[in-house]
Structure 1
Amino acid sequence: MLMGAHAAPRVRAPPPPPRKHATTTTLLLLSCMVMVVIVSSAAPAPDSDALLKFKASLSNAGALDTWDPSTSPCSVENGNWNGVICFEGNIWGLQLEDMDLSGDIDVDSLVPLRLLRTLSFMNNNFEGSIPDFKKLGALKSLYLSNNQLSGRIPDDAFAGMGSLKKLYLSNNKFTGTIPASLAALPRLLELRLEANQFVGALPNFLQKDLKLLNVSNNQLEGPIPEALISMGPTAFSGNKELCGKPLDSLCKSPTTSATPNVHPNKYSPLKVATAVIAFGIALGAIIVILMALIQRTKQQTPQSSYNQKSAEAAASLVDHDQCGSSSSSSSSPDRSSKRSHQEQAGKLSFVRDDRQKFDLQDLLRASAEVLGSGNFGSSYKALLMDGQAVVVKRFKQMNTVGREEFHEHMRRLGRLKHPNLLPLVAYYYRKEEKLLVFDHVKRGSLATHLHGKRSISQPALDWPKRLKIIQGVAKGLAYLHTELPSLTLPHGHLKSSNVLLDESLEPLLMDYALIPVVNPEHAHHIMVAYKSPEYSQHGRSISMKKTDVWTLGILILEVLTGKFPTNYLTQSSSNDWVNSIIRDQENSQLLFDKEIGATWTSKGEMLKLFKIGIACCEEDMEKRCDLKEIVEKIQDLKERDSHADQGHSINAGRHEVDV
């Protein structure tokens, strides 16, 4: 994603009060410094201030109670504010869907968010006329479907929004004609206007990249522009007065009010017959020429330019939403001709037979939302036309992997089946980048539940839930070690943000077994396994499966304490973080997360799990427990301990911990 960086406006301290009886210059300087500190600490960040002002314009905004002015909207430690999408610490978008919001959408309050690119207020209760969104000229996507917005949309409502690609206004109460400014948006990809009360003729949308248009169930009339015929009949159904292809209703020919007074010999039967014959001969000649040209083109080009362009555009799906335009292919015709037929056709390779098949063009036509950007690349949620939701992950750190090697490893991952693994559904190979497709999991990651701001509908993770999650993670990790014995690191990237939770809070491991296909120079910097003590101390290649045990130990301690392992993720070693956790045991109130709901009947089991986590984090790999032994101990844990095992010492081999 290429975006210009904008510096946040500086907070200027107010001038010091007038000097009355200051005795020394030092005293004056100290007072000024104190005022600067006070102002700096009290003044909210510009982004926070903008969002809080926006929230103030809303009604029934209980879902946004987590917007805490004392924290950052894009906090690494606390998680993003609810509904706020961040990228590299900046606010990228707002996804405030299904929150029962009403009131005014205060566009002016959002203007200071210069990196804001996507807004979604779908499935709420907003009423009245459409806000003046053209003040946010850099928006790429705007979703307003399923509200109560009404009235006529001004013709210039979207004038100047040259970056806008996706606009959803369906299922509202808009009236009047379709705004003419929509037809002038140069980068428009998707437009949904169905189920409103639009009248009049359809504008002539000439955007070459327009992939999706739906104007069904309105009151439109007149012929359908030729440029829109490819959209299919369902895009125009429910408009009784629309006519022409692709609908079955033919447009009526215009009739004249009077018969012209012509010379009786001007259109004699002989002249008419001659004209018809001449026209037929000319038309036949044109058809023959066109057929010859088409045949010649087919012989010279194995794939049509449309298919090649579609495949490249689909393979760069992420670029459409990140950079403002799809990345052009740098491959020469000779290089492109060497690609497999599957790549040229833009087809996904499916590794599971229990999923409905789709292709990259379906992903392009789908409603896409930015989920975030991690170490490997960007993730998108794509809602396909049939209602299926998938997540597309784009990887750029696999460029050195050969095609056959990549295909073989993906097929190997596709054969894995376990209730605690997020299954790979499909993949796409291209030399420059790779796409992996997974099922979408609604509840999000474990990291969000542990460190994010919770909504009312999202209960805290108590001890039984956390124990269930750790036991599921352990079982999934053990399965990987059993099914992938030849891999030095069957997972290699285990952390809380790579553990998803399904509807029943069953954990699903993701981003597993990727080390064989990730460029080594990138793996050293981005993968968790390379931050283990053995690598940071000795600088040697990871060659022991006990590194996965170490990452499991970090996860266990994070789940028990609720503390985010910042050093573990940002530096090359986590020893300091683990030692700080051990020191916290001196104060039992600091040892476990306050939301875990510890009781005297459960604390003994929690202490047992704490001991297991410490044993997993043994610095010396030779002294570190094997995964099989660790998994057995974790599975033996229970929600309650009838013995109330308290006051004992935890000796995990690394330290002796008195609790």
Structure 2
Amino acid sequence: MMIAFPSTRSWFLAFCLLSACAIRALSDDTAYSKSLLKFKRSLTNTTMLVNWNDPTDKLCSWNTPIWTGCLCLNDSFVGLRLEGMGLGGKIDIDSLSEVPLFSLSVMNNNFSGPFPSDINKLGKLRSLYLGYNRFSGEIPDDAFSGMKPIRKIVLNNNFFDGKIPMSLLKLPRLVGLELQNNEFEGRIPDFWQANLTVNFSNNKLEGPIPATLSHQNASSFSGNALCGLPLSPCKPRKSITKIALILTIVLGIALAAFIILLFISRRRSKPLKYSKSVDSFHMEEPTYSKGEKPYKNAEHGKLYFVRKDGERFELEELLRASAEVLGSGSFGSSYKAVLFSGQSYVVRRFRQMSNVGKEEFYEHMRRIGRLSHPNILSLVAFYYRKEEKLLITDFVENGSLASHLHGKRNSNQPGLDWPTRLRIIKGVARGLAYLYKELPTITLPHGHLKSSNVLLNSTYEPILADYALVPVINKDHAQQFMVAYKSPESTQNDRVTRNTDVWSLGILILELLTGRFPANYLKQGRGPSADLATWVNSVVREEWTGEVFDKDMNLARNCEGQMLRLLKIGMCCCEWNVEKRWDLREAVEKIEELKERDSDDDYSSYASEGDLYSSRALTDDDFSFSRT
């Protein structure tokens, strides 16, 4: 069989075509990056977009985005995924209309106000994700007019009200629509799209469900006043004449009863007297038998305090207090509330706890409320409602470790030095060890250990937050967003163990030492993704350089040995094979042995010759971990 090779002329023509495409792509990317920078200027709290600086001639390289949050396909920019970044401000549609946007997601941020106007200017959009923000108000009826390519629209967990926009019915390719946990009212329109999947739960919708949606899951319509398949059948409406007749009969009976009672009361010789005056009447505190839960009779709308010390206040006080939005994470929004007394609290709003029963929730919160440790953020009180829960904690004034590592600083504000970072990781290890000791029956005593959940007080002592929430968070949401489910055992074998938190500790150690943000935190779901441990391991194995350590630590030779020891601890905690991974006890012991400065023996045991920057300071034996 003869194989035909292209001629030299054919190769040359192909090369010219590819070159022209490349030049055009570079030119396009420069224009696109300028538009994205204009879009960034309309946002607030853009610390996570720190690498969106000057215009760039390339937004994608080998199908990998150059800028955080960009999406690439076939080495071309196709969209934005800016999720869980604490962003606020305005979504500048005019700027975004200048780029080829096929997908836009700003879920789990801090956007508020009305639905973005002129969204239909994004004519190429295939998917739109605005869920888990604080958008509010009515969506214009024509909001989605002309957006025929769009396939998925996610607006859940906001404060939208009014009627469902009719322009949604004009989207022929729509296959996914999520409007749950809003305040939409009225009837559901007659959606006709053949393969459409919807979720309208927990709104104020009423009336019959359209027959075209009768095959959907019943849970997609719960929390409304709806009827018809897949819910219970609609009751036939009674005629106005029959209702009027019934009301006439009822009023007649009531009037007759009133006349009879009036006649009897006048025939009595003496007026009735109360045996006790109203002033002396009081309600006694209820008593509970052994084993009975005191919260069964708790009045709806009351805060339940789990901490014995400290002030008491009502929910109304908290709602009237001056509030400041702190951010919006994967669980919900956080607010700083300052009471009239001057005391500051943080109020966390959770909507993804609806699958846990009231008794189970109360019991778990009381258990958390009994925890007390210098490196653990104590729970003050909580509020229970099936649709959402509030957790109230003290306010920690110095922000999170993530903000200090990755946020913008003033020119005169120094970065975290090595002694401070060592103190932080020791405090984290002690707090985690305390959780393991006090919560022996919970598989994931923390479950969501990351730098944004490590708060720092005025002396930079770390305080762990968002711990022990796995038992009460809806499982599907936990698997999408919680750090424990980014671990190798979860992504590969769909399981977690008590050593999974150790993996999270290892990633935190590497983040603390390198100053690099773990990119896999931004990925939703449990699919595999390149992580910080992979990068550190490649640097150590291939070519050891000083680039692995964060320059903001103000490196000095007399601490290199201790930093290398901590790096090794971090990698041993990140071992992919759970059976070979260090357990928490061993990790904590090794961390406690670390010192701020080296002795001569410390350094010589890690560096073979020369200094850290001119030799391979760690050998393969130091990091003998596998990727099985």
In the alignment, the residues of structure 2 paired with residue 487 and residue 54 of structure 1 have an alpha-carbon distance, to the nearest angstrom, of 40
Deviation, structure 1 residue 652:
4.8
Residue in 2 aligned with 1:93? Answer: 89
SS at 1:517's partner residue?
A: coil
2:53 to 69, 84, 90: 69
- 1:32 shift after superposition: 7.7
Q: Deviations over 1:64-95 (max 9, x none)?
A: xx8973399xx8689xxxxxxx876695239x
Shift in alpha-carbon separation, 1:409–1:67, aligned structure 2, 3 A: same
Deviation at 1:591, TM superposition (A): 1.4
SS of 2:334 mapped into structure 1: strand
| 1:544-563 equivalence runs, <5 A | 544-563=497-516
State the match for 1:462 in structure 2: 417
Residue 654 in 1 paired to residue 624 in 2?
Answer: yes
Distance 1:380 1:516, change over 3 A: same
Which residues of 2 match residues 85-484 of structure 1 at below 5 A? Answer: 91-93=87-89, 342-344=298-300, 346-456=301-411, 458-484=413-439
Distance 1:472 1:381, change over 3 A: same
Match of 1:37 in 2: 26
Distance 1:51 1:518 in 2: 33
Task: Call closer, same or farther: CA 1:389–1:588 in 2, change over 3 Å.
Answer: same
Q: Partner of 2:575 in structure 1?
A: 618
Kept in 2, the 8 Å contact 1:529–1:547? The answer is: yes
Secondary structure of 1:390's aligned partner: strand
- Residue 426 of structure 1 deviates from its aligned partner by 0.9
1:535 deviates by 2.3
Q: 1:483 to 1:532 in 2, by over 3 A?
A: same
Superposed CA deviations along residues 243-262 of structure 1, whole A, max 9, x for unmatched, are xxxxxxxxxxxxxxxxxxxx
Partner letter of residue 38 of structure 1? S
The answer to whether the Cα contact below 8 Å between 2:84 and 2:330 also exists between their aligned partners in 1 is no
Deviation string, structure 1 residues 394-418 (Cα, Å, up to 9, x no partner) = 1122112111111111111111111
What SS class does the counterpart of residue 417 from structure 1 fall into? coil
Assess if the C-alpha contact under 8 Å between 2:518 and 2:532 holds in 1: yes
Q: Distance in 1 between matches of 2:114 and 2:521?
A: 40
Q: Secondary structure of 2:414's match?
A: coil
Using a 3 Å threshold, how does the CA distance of structure 1 residues 524 and 457 change in structure 2: closer, same or farther? Answer: same
Shift of 1:36: 5.4
Question: Following TM superposition, by how much is the alpha carbon of 1:43 offset from its aligned partner in structure 2, in angstroms?
Answer: 5.8
SS in structure 1 at match of 2:393: strand
Deviations 1:367-392 (A, max 9, x none): 22222222212212222233222211
Amino acid at match of 1:623: K
Which amino acid in the other structure matches residue 585 of structure 2? Answer: K
Structure 2 Cα separation of the partners of residues 389 and 33 of structure 1: 56
* CA 1:402–1:558: 2 relative to 1, 3 Å: same
CA contact (8 A) 1:380 1:392 kept: yes
Equivalent position of 2:251 in the other structure: none
CA displacement, residues 434-478 of structure 1 (integer Å, 9 cap, x when unaligned): 111111222221112112222346420111111111111000000
Unaligned runs of 5+ in 1: 1-23, 56-62, 79-85, 95-108, 120-135, 140-161, 164-186, 188-338
Amino acid at match of 1:558: E
1:513 maps to amino acid:
A
Partner in structure 2 of residue 230 of structure 1: none
Q: Which amino acid aligns with 1:606?
A: M
* Residue in 2 that maps onto 1:508: 463
| Matching residue's letter, 1:402 | G
Q: Give the drift of 1:523.
A: 2.2
**Deviation, structure 1 residue 430:** 0.9
Q: 1:436 to 1:369 in 2, by over 3 A?
A: same
Aligned counterpart, 2:446: 491
- Listed as ranges, the gaps of 5+ residues in structure 2 are 1-12, 60-66, 71-81, 98-105, 117-135, 138-160, 162-294, 609-616
Alpha-carbon distance change, 54 to 92 in structure 1, aligned in 2, over 3 angstroms: closer
Q: 1:603 to 1:485 in 2, by over 3 A?
A: same
SS for the counterpart of 1:518 is coil
CA distance in 2, matches of 1:395, 1:489: 19
- Output the CA distance in 2 between the equivalents of 1:348 and 1:138: 32
For residue 386 of structure 1, give the secondary structure of its aligned residue in structure 2: coil
- Structure-1 separation of matches of 2:359 and 2:365: 10
Deviations, residues 524-572 of structure 1 (Å, cap 9, x unaligned)? 22222222222222223x2x31111111111111111112211355254
The one-letter code of the counterpart of 1:70 is D
Q: Which residue of 1 aligns with 2:486?
A: 531
Cα distance in 2 for residues equivalent to 1:654 and 1:33: 43
Instruction: Show CA shifts across 1:138-170 (max 9, x none).
Output: 89xxxxxxxxxxxxxxxxxxxxxx97xxxxxxx
Q: 1:362 is paired with a residue of what secondary structure?
A: helix
Q: How far does the alpha carbon of each residue in 1:305-357 deviate from its partner, in whole angstroms, 9 at most, with x for none?
A: xxxxxxxxxxxxxxxxxxxxxxxxxxxxxxxxxx965442x221111133222
Query: 2:447·2:470 contact (CA, 8 Å) conserved in 1?
Result: yes
Deviations 1:556-595 (A, max 9, x none): 1111111221135525446754222112232322211121
Counterparts in 2 of 1:412 and 1:76: CA distance versus 1, 3 Å: farther
Distance, in Å, in 1 between the alignment partners of 2:431 and 2:518 is: 22
Secondary structure of the 1:503 match is coil
Select which of 564, 571, 577 maps to 2:517: 564
Structure 1 residue 654 displacement after superposition: 3.5
CA distance in 2, matches of 1:566, 1:439: 30
> In structure 2, how many angstroms separate the alpha carbons of the residues matched to 1:354 and 1:464?
34
Q: Match of 1:567, SS?
A: helix
**1:213 is matched with which residue?**
none
Aligned partners of 2:401, 2:352: CA distance in 1, in Å?
25
Separation in 2, partners of 1:29, 1:573: 32
Q: Partners of 1:53 and 1:413 in 2: how far apart?
A: 40
CA distance in structure 2 between the aligned counterparts of 1:574 and 1:466, rounded to whole angstroms: 27
| TM-score w.r.t. length of structure 2 | 0.55
* TM-aligned CA distance change 1:615 to 1:575, over 3 Å: farther
CA distance in 2, matches of 1:640, 1:537: 40
Which amino acid is 2:547 matched to? L
Tell me the distance in 1 between the aligned counterparts of 2:68 and 2:17: 38
Letter matched to residue 418 of structure 2: W
How far 1:51 sits from its partner (Å)? 6.8
Is 2:597 aligned against 1:640?
Answer: yes
| SS in structure 1 at match of 2:557 | coil
Which of 600, 604, 617 is the equivalent residue of 2:561?
604
Would you say the 8 A contact 1:421–1:476 is kept in 2? yes
Provide the secondary structure at the position in 2 that maps to 1:508.
strand
Amino acid at match of 1:494: L
* Equivalent-residue separation in structure 1 for 2:478 and 2:436 (angstroms): 20
Query: In the aligned structure 2, how far is the partner of 1:597 from the partner of 1:421?
Result: 29
**1:43 and 1:415 mapped to 2: Cα distance?**
53
Using the size of structure 1 for normalisation, the TM-score is 0.53
